[in-house]
Amino acid sequence: MMHPRTLLDPAFRTCLAAAAGDAALVREFDRLYKTNLVFSGSPLDLAIDEASGRLDADAAAFAAFVRDTIYERLPPQVLAALRKGSFEC
């Protein structure tokens, strides 16, 4: 589980929003991790995914992926700029 401080960090939120906005990254994440962040499938399949909690689990897995592969690897000066809102991912 991700630490709440990470979720509230403006730098992490900026990285997460940028990553979620990258259609190719999300599509490849879905392919590699067998998730369904692009909401493919029939309406019934999507309803089952939502009812089972799969969509929430997939979103949490993507957030952890962004934390591990992008956010935690950024230099301190970039994190500081992201927190000030003077830099974009």
pLDDT confidence of residue 15: 96
The answer to whether the CB of 2 falls within 8 A of the CB of 60 is yes
Residue 13 lies in a domain: no
* SS3 of residue 60 by DSSP: helix
Residue 1 banded pLDDT, cuts 50, 70, 90? confident
Residue 18 lies in a domain: no
Residue 35 lies in a domain: yes
How many domains are contained in the chain? 1
Cα separation, 44 vs 1, in Å, equals 29
Helix 54-69 vs helix 10-20: crossing angle, to nearest 10:
110
Cα separation, 26 vs 4, in Å, equals 23
* SS3 of residue 87 by DSSP: coil
pLDDT confidence of residue 18: 96
Question: Does the pLDDT at position 88 exceed 70?
Answer: no
